[in-house]
Structure 1
């Protein structure tokens, strides 16, 4: 990730079903319609708006989590629980968590040592399985968990002897290259590429993740006056390519295409996507490029990001358009439409990487100081139908929100709840079963408590989330269920309680179950 360089409705904890039912019965006001009335009143479940609202959680050099090395297991878990709770409260629906930052692991990997960013010592067991804990913590809150990997970076320093004993980069020095004060696996060495893929797929195979995520680090960002030292590798493996640049792009293409294929083979429902540097090529270099004069990922990182989209290799692309509207070299108002054109006519979702870390930061240009730049970005995004959401870098900056930029954006653009994105290739198979709904009204205040119960057998068919729809008046006429009627999307479970503090005195409800893929099932019978 390039910055490494540089009182309304609420969801309540699940309650004991008998306790809630007793309270509802005692109140004498839980009402459901007869089957005939229900058939007349229940609207179809779709359409509702679908958006990615994602937050990056970076672990390298303890950017976001853990906040420092050496925290014990209980403290690490508590920090992550707070992050997940805050993400839910802020309106996010997905976490993108860095779990392999420097060729080390946030799980008990059979390929690589424990990450130094957990304990301070690479290879030291933190005393629990962080990845297992994080996935479970996110899923209990209805948050998708995307595992964020750095494919090639081995270390933030260049000395192999500083790595843990037995580290693969020490036992296979022929795989590594020192460049710019850091250590990397050489993308041009086939054995190194295959090893990196195996190391990442270990987590994909063993953990119930929702996606595999790469950021913008492929070949490293160039160091002034120094070329990446892979001449020997090029002589060994570069036959058939017109020049080293074409060969390097071929190497990165192999990593991307092979990982896409492997992820779909191992975990077919997991998304595979990339968050690249925001400029592919400038139009002055390539007429297909953007009207920018910035660094070019195609040439500088050997990442053909536009080509990956056009070839159908990605479920989504989330370019880091980390610049303000009006910046001459790389104008957000130029790049967002350019990326929309890139994905047009493809099955690739487009989400935009947003630089909340710039908001209110000393030294950033004036547009990042007025607390309105993110709002301007999402206002422009709303004019681009191909654009399906945003990712925000990163968690600590969302929390700091130094000039209220993120809060203003939420007020302007996130007041309406949404479901998560549903790529076309996953929109298949049986939908989640229809839940049951009971409503308790609380006197004259208008507040309502909803008890939502899944039709699940054991641990099967338990919804991931519930979509809560509210309609004015009394049931009896068919209404359109969609974004206008959607008042909440809450974590799923066998029994879920939702408290609507802003319920009108006269209204009725229907809910639908949403599965892990974000598919919405049939609406419940109405209740009021």
Structure 2
């Protein structure tokens, strides 16, 4: 296992190893609102490789300076430039979100009143950078119309086990009874109610102060097992576990409480912010839970991390679940082709969306020996109606495989040829914006320049730009997938412009739709031919 996979994903070993609604459109005529289903597969017409809605993101890890910043000694200018490169890459390959780590080790990438500045920003914990990295990241992501999901690690305190090496004002130094060492690292004790409250307060500070689109946890709750080590929480159980017959159920309840409480607190302050978790890919093996478990023989989050991930979905604690299914198709202990349908069954008939966590580092590092492995994963996902997208770990693993003929380049050239709108999460609500008024479509040597506005801004956060060859009358079918979708753009105010530099000489028909921040789509604008 690479150092990157260790730092992001802990113990990865295995124990034995909408459709669009019926709409009409006419040149110069108004069109009814578009209705889009929750499933990308439902938006695929006749096997098209261009689903209209699909979550596409990369994880950008800050712990140990894996993806960003590259070094704690980098200047502010370099940090900003490097992050913009990540965002520009995401746009270039038609992603629509980034999942960026902002609290890697009980520290902060923003001026937090609760926790010190992260050492990964300046090389020294508690030392302030010359800017607010979280504010910068959110602003730059939104400029490029990328959703920004802030990635927090709730309980990990340090990648080393000596509390004296923490900043003197670190809460773990001031409250030594809150933490325990385990396998060379420090962790907050999830069984202490004050810890659970503090951790939530520290993270909620960012939700309140910044324009986040999502809050994201990974798979670290109780630490991953390590050899014969036992968790040092027997005294905590004796103090707080009186209602439970065994320590395992008590630990699971501690994590359940943290997840459910924090999910509610997010919605209390900002109901539109999405809450998602990317747990280890196995809940329980079928041998441990018949018939609910999966046909696997690996580490189980339920018993190893005390993370009852299936319950979180069934109880609706989350808006999306993003299981890390980092195994190849046919792998004996954990078969990708069996785990995806298992998770699809878990989310079926719930309000929780399913995005698949892809082990991109295994494709780039050669652990996956089939050069088409990652492409086959997308085939399975898109054939599974409940799967609404993918998140790739990590940024470097994608970037390094974008060369000619490499897996990421082939994935982009085959599956991500067009932008995609974000999937709808219906229970989050939102408001369908007023349709844009497309006022200009002027052709020049630079391409076709479009101009539009939304009366009163109409609740629009972003826009989708659709292009058709020739002077045509688009039909409802033309909006069921993304084959005619050429761009999505962030709203810049009442009047917006876009230059279609890819338009060759000839005649085109353009349509613009407006979207609110949750992806609800307006009726299309009147169609307008280039001139």
1:515 paired to 2:519? no
Q: After superposition, give the CA deviation of every residue in 1:156-206 in whole Å (9 maximum; x if it has no partner).
A: 011111000111000001111111110000000000111000000000110
Counterpart-to-counterpart distance in 1, 2:482 and 2:435: 23
- In 1, are the aligned partners of 2:26 and 2:526 still within 8 Å (CA)? no
Q: After superposition, give the CA deviation of every residue in 1:37-68 in whole Å (9 maximum; x if it has no partner).
A: 5127x575444621100111100000100011
Give the C-alpha shift of residue 498 in structure 1: 2.8
Q: Does the residue aligned with 2:450 lie in a helix, a strand or coil?
A: strand
Q: CA 1:435–1:398 in structure 2 vs 1: closer, same or farther (change >3 Å)?
A: farther
User: 1:306-321 counterparts in 2 under 5 A?
Assistant: 306-321=310-325
Q: After superposition, give the CA deviation of every residue in 1:469-507 in whole Å (9 maximum; x if it has no partner).
A: 223442457554411553223222232323152457343
1:170 maps to what in 2? 173
In structure 1, list runs of 5 or more residues that go unmatched.
7-34
1:468 paired to 2:468? no
Give the C-alpha shift of residue 453 in structure 1: 2.7
Q: Does the residue aligned with 1:320 lie in a helix, a strand or coil?
A: coil
Counterpart-to-counterpart distance in 2, 1:462 and 1:136: 19
- In 2, are the aligned partners of 1:2 and 1:216 still within 8 Å (CA)? no
- In 1, are the aligned partners of 2:33 and 2:521 still within 8 Å (CA)? no
TM-score by length of 1: 0.88
Counterpart-to-counterpart distance in 2, 1:138 and 1:420: 15
Counterpart-to-counterpart distance in 1, 2:140 and 2:352: 28
Counterpart-to-counterpart distance in 2, 1:334 and 1:188: 34
1:412 paired to 2:411? no
Counterpart-to-counterpart distance in 1, 2:373 and 2:72: 34
2:351 maps to what in 1? 347
1:194 maps to what in 2? 197
In structure 2, list runs of 5 or more residues that go unmatched.
12-24, 37-42, 44-51
Q: After superposition, give the CA deviation of every residue in 1:182-235 in whole Å (9 maximum; x if it has no partner).
A: 000000000011100000000011001001100000000011011111011010
- In 2, are the aligned partners of 1:437 and 1:510 still within 8 Å (CA)? no
Q: Does the residue aligned with 2:349 lie in a helix, a strand or coil?
A: coil
Q: Does the residue aligned with 1:223 lie in a helix, a strand or coil?
A: coil
- In 1, are the aligned partners of 2:151 and 2:215 still within 8 Å (CA)? yes
Q: Does the residue aligned with 1:505 lie in a helix, a strand or coil?
A: coil
How many residues are treated as equivalent by the alignment?
490
Select between 332-341 and 43-52 the one with higher mean Cα deviation.
43-52
Select between 77-86 and 511-520 the one with higher mean Cα deviation.
511-520
1:236 paired to 2:239? yes
1:440 alignment partner, one of 434, 439, 442: 442
1:38 maps to what in 2? 28
2:183 alignment partner, one of 169, 180, 184: 180
Counterpart-to-counterpart distance in 2, 1:454 and 1:466: 10
Q: After superposition, give the CA deviation of every residue in 1:332-364 in whole Å (9 maximum; x if it has no partner).
A: 0010011001100101000000011111315x2
Counterpart-to-counterpart distance in 1, 2:203 and 2:312: 20
Counterpart-to-counterpart distance in 2, 1:479 and 1:500: 26
What CA RMSD, in Å, does the superposition of the two structures yield over aligned residues?
Answer: 2.1
1:129 alignment partner, one of 119, 123, 132: 132
1:374 maps to what in 2? 374
Select between 494-503 and 228-237 the one with higher mean Cα deviation.
494-503
Q: Does the residue aligned with 2:227 lie in a helix, a strand or coil?
A: coil
Q: Does the residue aligned with 1:350 lie in a helix, a strand or coil?
A: strand
Q: CA 1:297–1:473 in structure 2 vs 1: closer, same or farther (change >3 Å)?
A: same
1:282 alignment partner, one of 281, 285, 288: 285
1:227 maps to what in 2? 230
- In 1, are the aligned partners of 2:436 and 2:455 still within 8 Å (CA)? no
Select between 416-425 and 310-319 the one with higher mean Cα deviation.
416-425
- In 1, are the aligned partners of 2:430 and 2:518 still within 8 Å (CA)? no
Counterpart-to-counterpart distance in 1, 2:68 and 2:455: 35
- In 2, are the aligned partners of 1:44 and 1:481 still within 8 Å (CA)? no
Q: CA 1:45–1:430 in structure 2 vs 1: closer, same or farther (change >3 Å)?
A: closer
Q: Does the residue aligned with 2:528 lie in a helix, a strand or coil?
A: coil
Q: After superposition, give the CA deviation of every residue in 1:367-424 in whole Å (9 maximum; x if it has no partner).
A: 3xx2x11100001111100000000111111111177111111222112331001101
Give the C-alpha shift of residue 462 in structure 1: 7.2
- In 2, are the aligned partners of 1:161 and 1:170 still within 8 Å (CA)? yes
2:528 maps to what in 1? 527
Give the C-alpha shift of residue 448 in structure 1: 4.2
Counterpart-to-counterpart distance in 1, 2:434 and 2:83: 29
1:490 maps to what in 2? 488
- In 1, are the aligned partners of 2:364 and 2:400 still within 8 Å (CA)? no
Counterpart-to-counterpart distance in 2, 1:472 and 1:314: 42
1:66 paired to 2:63? no
2:388 maps to what in 1? 388
TM-score by length of 2: 0.88
2:453 maps to what in 1? 454
- In 2, are the aligned partners of 1:187 and 1:219 still within 8 Å (CA)? yes
Give the C-alpha shift of residue 81 in structure 1: 0.9
1:160 maps to what in 2? 163
Counterpart-to-counterpart distance in 2, 1:2 and 1:61: 12
Q: CA 1:353–1:485 in structure 2 vs 1: closer, same or farther (change >3 Å)?
A: closer
1:252 maps to what in 2? 255
